[in-house]
Amino acid sequence: MGALMAALAPGLRPGAVVTDGGSTKSDVAALYRRHLPDHLPWCVPAHPIAGSDMSGAVAAQYGLYENRRVVLTPLEETAPAAVEAVADLWRACGAEIHCMDAAEHDAVFASVSHLPHLLAFAYVDRVAAKANAERCFDFAATGFRDFTRIAGSHPEMWTDISLANRDALLAELADYRCGLDRLAALLEAGDADGLNRLFGEARAARTRWHQQFLRRG
């Protein structure tokens, strides 16, 4: 993206709004500052929250952004008029606009998007490395399908996202290891009450999220 910004810079007229659709925002903000330092009032980082595990032109979907969220992370220098211009563009696609700063964006999406992708990739990789992998895959069914759907995502794209959001992801992985250690301790202790409580709390949290997600359309 930096190379594209550098190529755009000589031809940008004052007032021409520049935006993007990247999945991480702190690194993109730094690129705007490096390559378009005189154009920052018209730079509006953005992240549309839509898509699937498919990639390429064949994965194009009509109405992809209908009732979906787009997060804008304006720079300190970004002019309100530029923010509104980009917001209007996304609203015309049917999207709902939200604003947050880049650091918060990257922390939130490390938790609910980037980490799940890493876990799905890592899990499938471990199953594939087993001596009886063929047997395991032969009996994998809907639970395996649902958990691993996003492991079908584009490897190059997710390599880029993972490295771009490395610090937030490392923090999430450390926290997740603590969760796995807690789960292992409950299993080792044969703590049925503890396991049931953990599963119940997770199920309730997931149900609350899903109900909210359905209400958003």
- The CATH number that applies at residue 129 is 1.10.3660.10
Domain C-terminal end among 54, 84, 100? 100
- Give CA–CA dist 33/28, Å, rounded: 9
User: Is 205 found in the same domain as 181?
Assistant: yes
For the cut 90, the answer to whether the pLDDT of residue 217 exceeds it is no
Task: Please give the pLDDT value at position 53.
Answer: 61
User: Is 193 found in the same domain as 131?
Assistant: yes
User: Is 95 found in the same domain as 123?
Assistant: no
At 1, the pLDDT band (50, 70, 90 cuts) reads confident
What is 53-75 written as a DSSP string?
S--SGGG--TTTTTT-EEEE---
User: Is 84 found in the same domain as 42?
Assistant: yes
User: Is 2 found in the same domain as 57?
Assistant: yes
User: Is 95 found in the same domain as 59?
Assistant: yes
User: Is 64 found in the same domain as 45?
Assistant: yes
- Please, what is the average pLDDT of the chain? 95
**Which domain, by its residues, includes 190?**
105-215
Mean pLDDT of 89-108: 97
Give the pairing type, strands 69-72 and 96-99.
Answer: parallel
At 54, the pLDDT band (50, 70, 90 cuts) reads low
Q: What is the pLDDT of residues 2-25, one digit of tens each?
A: 899 999 999 999 999 999 999 999
- Give CA–CA dist 36/122, Å, rounded: 37
For the cut 70, the answer to whether the pLDDT of residue 46 exceeds it is yes
- The CATH number that applies at residue 30 is 3.40.50.720
User: Is 28 found in the same domain as 5?
Assistant: yes
Domain C-terminal end among 63, 85, 100? 100
For the cut 80, the answer to whether the pLDDT of residue 35 exceeds it is yes
Domain C-terminal end among 100, 121, 155? 100
The count of structural domains within the chain is: 2
User: Is 41 found in the same domain as 16?
Assistant: yes
Strand partners, 97: 70
User: Is 113 found in the same domain as 95?
Assistant: no
| Contacting residues for 203 by C-beta, under 8 A, at least 6 apart | none
User: Is 90 found in the same domain as 13?
Assistant: yes
Q: How far is CA 1 from the centre of its chain?
A: 18
pTM exceeds cut of 0.85: yes
Q: What is the pLDDT of residues 134-163, one digit of tens each?
A: 999 999 999 999 999 999 999 999 999 999
User: Is 38 found in the same domain as 112?
Assistant: no
Q: How far is CA 118 from the centre of its chain?
A: 11
